[in-house]
Chain A
Amino acid sequence: MGLTYQSTGRSTTREIFNVPNAGSELVIALAGNPNTGKSTVFNALTGLRQHTGNWPGKTVLRAEGSFIHGGRRYTLIDLPGTYSLHANSVEEEVARDFLCFANPDATVVVADGTCLERNLNLALQVMEITDNVIVCVNLIDEARRKKMHINIQKLSKALGVPVVPTAARSGEGLSELMDTISDVALGRVMPKPVLVRYSDEMEKAIAQMEPKVREIIGTHINTRWVALRLIDGDTKLVQAMERYYKEQNPKQADLEVLA
């Protein structure tokens, strides 16, 4: 039997990103636009339990930390700050590859509450890749000062994922954020993202592509999203798939030899 994406599990993919395998620790990704206080959230959650380095093979700074909540250990990966996941830059590529191939147990999208619209663009794109998304509306104190009111319940309903308002600088909302993270990571809450609907022709094309995608790569990666990227002619994603597939190949081969 040849190797397919299906036959290689998520645990081997995670090794490529130097994150703990499923089962031992829960892996949480932190995504967000630049200048949204993402690093403040990261620092507030992990405290001093963090270390920095580079992403494998890339000169992009990577910060990793951990926190303990309800007796469990969570590894938090700070993704590079990006505006989109269309892989226009190395940063976007790194963030996308991690979300797509490392399958974090939950992904927190940190959004700037004072300019929600621009920040939601990224959240919507993350939600296309993974279901387990939490939107953290940060800088809520600044939004209040600007006399803005954000209806959190309504936002959560519109997105189909949990939304937590925070002011990371003062620590407001952080314990609620941790609770929500563990709810989602442990499967107590199952987000049902409301996805972007594209034009009719696009949706038709996606519907046509999706079964074909599923046939080849299985359901391990979100097939609707892969179909969308393929229609967009995203050669970088295809290259990335081939790369990760190749990298996990020898490991899988080793396992087969041992077995």
Chain B
Amino acid sequence: MNSEAAVGNLLEEAKGIIGDQQAGIRDGIVKSIYDTSENITKDVVSYTSVHRVDWDRKIDNIITSPIWGFPIMFGLLAVVFWITIAGANYPSEFLATQLFWVQGRLTELFLALSAPEWLHGFLVLGVYTALAWVVSVMLPPMAIFFPLFTLLEDAGYLPRVAFNLDRFFKKAGAHGKQALTMSMGFGCNAAGVIACRIIESPRERLIATLTNTFVPCNGRFPTIIALASLFIAGSVSVTLGSFIATLGVAGLVVFGIAVTLFVSWLLSKTLLKGEPSSFTLELPPYRKPQVGQVLVRSVIDRTIFVLSRAVVIAAPAGGLVWIMANTTIGDSTILAAAANWLDPFAGLMGLDGFILMAFILGLPANEIVFPILIMSYVSGGTLVQMESLADLRHLLIDQHGWTWLTGLCTVIFALCHWPCGTTLFTIQREQKNWRWTLLAAIIPASIGVIICITITTLARALNLV
């Protein structure tokens, strides 16, 4: 008798006995075990203090409830964004004014020293302007958003988010822990990709890796927030504007999560077929966040880190843009030529050549996409003196013909395009397969292109623009 084959046969027999109820079996088993544990615990554990209330459990029942879980999540997200958008406006304005006042003095200094025109152009109009934009556009939203986000993290809210999202990921054929790696992605997509190690099954890990870029990271958040507040908020009254901008950003994040789920589902139905595996998620106790530590940590670890990375990359990029804008081949500058070349395709997507080029030049770090865009607009056309955010609005809308469609498509493309160089490098290191790395860039980029083209075509067909 061969027991090796016999065990396999037993499995077949078991399938025969249980028939078509197979799907619910695991849940039934787990539920029976949990119920038994619960009953025993109720029986043997008592509390000596009478007034003890299990607040954690009570709060969890609301926060992770099927009905309230999502509205609360959306609400918290919206509150965080609203504080960020409403709060970032004035410091941004202030910083811009100060930094461009300094630029004026720098120019005077260069003139006084009778420095060559190209040196002034490269250093002041190129490098310094790029840095000034990075700091004034990026710093205030970051300095407000990161501490708020860290507070939520510290209080123990993020695992609850994972809990809420778990069933959706399961339905998408992905691993519930992907909700956690996704949350990490809000901090940094490269960190999110590394966090995918917590997912055991290679198939599900790959799904999580390939879709991590659909949550806006530190580097893209300020761009999105700045654009939203600049664009939406500026057009209507101040209070209503920041309210709409908030809804816009929160909606965009939800949209990103929806795209993540959709792509995960698509992958698990096509390239990466398989069943999701189950796991235990431990909900840690709620803790009173240590406000002081949160401030220090989020300012030092995140704000300074992200800002310095942006500054390091923005400085040479600013110089490069100035050179491109001031070197002429034939009868146009390199910058204009490149933008013109990209223009037809970018036009289909509701963007223009400069925007698409900024995204391409922003490959090393997403933080610099918006500053580069401003730079190329400013140095590409007549050199206007940019002194405040109102000027920025004027630049985009009046001089370069931005409509709501341009803003929307730019923001969507900021959410769905190739991950930054660091993230791609990390994916390559984790997966050790250039095909997946390439796919990690192609999938989000093509989705972004498709969505933008669809929206643009629809909007133009319906005469909305």
Contacts and interface: CB of A to CB of B under 8 A. Distances in A.
Interface string A62-85: 000000000000000000000110
A154 B14 contact: no
A209 B37 contact: no
Contacts of B25: 202, 231-233
B465 interface: no
Interface residues of B, number: 43
Q: Which 8 A-B pairs have the closest CB atoms?
A: A83-B280, A120-B37, A230-B14, A117-B41, A155-B44, A147-B49, A216-B6, A151-B44
A209 B12 CA distance: 11
B47 interface: yes
B464 interface: no
A150 B47 CA distance: 9
A18 to B, nearest CB: 24
Contact of A148 (B1, B11, B45): B45
27 contacts: A2-B1, A2-B2, A89-B279, A90-B200, A116-B45, A120-B36, A120-B37, A121-B37, A147-B47, A154-B43, A155-B44, A158-B43, A196-B33, A202-B28, A209-B10, A209-B14, A212-B10, A213-B10, A216-B3, A216-B6, A216-B10, A231-B18, A238-B11, A241-B7, A242-B7, A245-B3, A246-B4
Contacts of A231: 14, 17-18, 25
A125 B49 CA distance: 32
A197 B28 CA distance: 11
B40 interface: yes
Contact of A158 (B4, B13, B40, B277): B40
A59 interface: no
A208 interface: yes
User: In the complex, which range does the number of interface residues on chain A fall in?
Assistant: 35 or more
Nearest to A201: B21
Interface in A119-143: 120-121, 124-125
A116 B280 contact: no
B4 A155 contact: no
A124 B279 CA distance: 17
Contacts of A242: 4, 7-8
B237 interface: no
Contacts of A86: 26, 30, 278
A154 B44 contact: yes
Contacts of B33: 121, 124-125, 196
Interface string A209-250: 100110011000000000110111101001001100110000
A217 B48 contact: no
B65 interface: no
B64 to A, nearest CB: 15
A5 interface: yes
Given A150-B45, A199-B28, A232-B25, A124 B36 contact: yes
A233 B19 CA distance: 11
A39 B22 CA distance: 38
Contacts, number: 129
Contacts of B457: none
B14 A205 contact: yes
Given A148-B45, A197-B32, A117 B38 contact: yes
B45 A149 contact: yes
B36 A196 contact: yes
A212 to B, nearest CB: 6
A81 B441 CA distance: 37
Nearest to A123: B37
A89 B41 CA distance: 27
Contacts of A198: 28-29, 32
B270 interface: no
B22 A233 contact: yes
Contact of A233 (B1, B15, B36, B44): B15
A118 interface: yes
Nearest to B48: A147
Contacts of A151: 43-46
A159 interface: yes
Interface string A158-176: 1100000000000000000
Nearest to B23: A233
Contacts of B200: 88-90
B58 interface: no
